[in-house]
Amino acid sequence: RYPAETITFDDEHLWSTTGAATALDLESVALHEFGHILGLQHSTFPSAVMFPTIALGEIKRELAQDDRSGIVDLYSDWASAT
């Protein structure tokens, strides 16, 4: 078992950094998983990085408004205290 903050990329999937139509985008999946490390839950907005699924060849490397709002909700009190 891995610690909760560990991200692993298994060999059950084909990975790509070029948006290949037959593979998952490594950077998009890593960004999604990092969102979980920050404490974000899945989003109901299909455009969000934190949407629970991603299609083969789909690239989501920029945070959508829902992703940014989730980060602000989690960390705005902490940020204003510093």
Backbone phi and psi for residue 41, each to the nearest 5 degrees, phi listed first: -100, 175
Cα–Cα distance measured from residue 48 to residue 8, given in angstroms and rounded to the nearest whole number: 21
Q: β-pairing, 15-16 with 24-25?
A: parallel
Q: Cite the active site residues.
A: 33
